[in-house]
Structure 1
């Protein structure tokens, strides 16, 4: 312990996160219902003994994933909106988060979660409902302050589901598109829909370039 912080606990959490990131490409395609811990260890590129040091069951792995994303959603929603620029920053955070949620929580994974781990599925769905309410409140506040166009917030949220069908190798090849093109165009589409023309300058698009590149790398890696 140092200054009330358990350093070993922090290092353990970091290692768990690295192992889970190796597992994500498998989960998004195959789910987790029938896979054995031995196979999970192979995907994570560790021995079974090492895997059991960090995760004793598949449910523990699922719990780590779901609770991590719930925490990620809560962190974003706690940011303060004390200036017009803060609305632009929050919009960019929401965009990045929305893409990540669509990328990692595929239909295959969600179906497996509902069937095999209903408690974690319920927690995730409840967190998503709370996120939706916070997003709607954010959109309403932006409209009230004259920053956003008067658009239907629920439609903005529902639009993100379009990305599920687009993060697909066959779709990309048929339409001669890249993941980066889709993310860049979708970002500008959302921005132009939401912000009034005279408020567009408050958004610093330059900060999104490396974020979109990072998202592109993760998504592309998971596709192939």
Structure 2
């Protein structure tokens, strides 16, 4: 039994590593036209090895969607038992929002809806549930006197601004860097949401390596 579980865990770990290699490619090229031999090449494995981990492209897409749903569900893990916990949850939401925006391009979502409607429905439902969790988080912060009384839906919609800004042409034309945009946007969201006397509950040093990691990932996909 334990040997079987260890083998399953090891296989799943390898599957995750292979998908991480594939995601930037799917982000740029979409889902519909990519073939299994292309997927194997991007993953840097043989086609025969690919079939040991994924039997079909549909299974790959399902694994990706399930992974993102699990990632979104992480929002519910930490309890809001102190003012500092609101700062931690805010940072988690910010990092998660940027990551999801980076991979859920309009092309990806459109092709998922068209070619894999069942998976799209599952993902869309999870995204709606996440939005409700974020809105509930904003409302609780307002009720506890930590957040400004602000429209949570507007804060969420602001994330769409980044989608247009993370464009190589836009960055070069405006002499901006991905890191600069992320830092500025993080501080903008923080100041909008938290009351001035509550800003001290946020430990910005925690976000520095996270923003650097996001910068590297986004820049790599842009150029």
Q: Please report the TM-score for the alignment, with normalisation by the length of structure 1.
A: 0.97
Q: Which runs of 4+ in 1 moved over 3 A?
A: none
Secondary structure of the structure 2 residue equivalent to 1:18: helix
Structure 1 unaligned blocks of 5 or more: none
- Cα offset for 1:160? 0.6
Offset from partner CA, 1:151-208 (integer Å, 9 cap, x none): 0000011111111111111111111111111111110000000000000000000000
Q: Which residue of 1 aligns with 2:141?
A: 142
Q: CA RMSD in A?
A: 1.2
- Cα offset for 1:212? 0.3
Residues of 2 paired with 1:143 and 1:33: CA distance?
Answer: 44
Secondary structure of the structure 1 residue equivalent to 2:164: helix
Q: Is the 8 A contact 1:148 1:194 kept in 2?
A: yes
Q: Which residue of 1 aligns with 2:89?
A: 90
Q: Does 1:184 align with 2:183?
A: yes
- Cα offset for 1:25? 1.4
Residues of 2 paired with 1:112 and 1:199: CA distance?
Answer: 43
Residues of 1 paired with 2:16 and 2:150: CA distance?
Answer: 37
Structure 2 unaligned blocks of 5 or more: none
Q: Which residue of 2 aligns with 1:25?
A: 24
Residues of 2 paired with 1:190 and 1:24: CA distance?
Answer: 28
Q: Which residue of 1 aligns with 2:38?
A: 39
Count of paired positions:
223
Offset from partner CA, 1:93-141 (integer Å, 9 cap, x none): 0000000000011111111100000000000000011011111110000
Residues of 2 paired with 1:93 and 1:28: CA distance?
Answer: 23
Residues of 1 paired with 2:110 and 2:39: CA distance?
Answer: 19
Alignment of 1:117-132 (within 5 A): 117-132=116-131
Alignment of 1:67-82 (within 5 A): 67-82=66-81
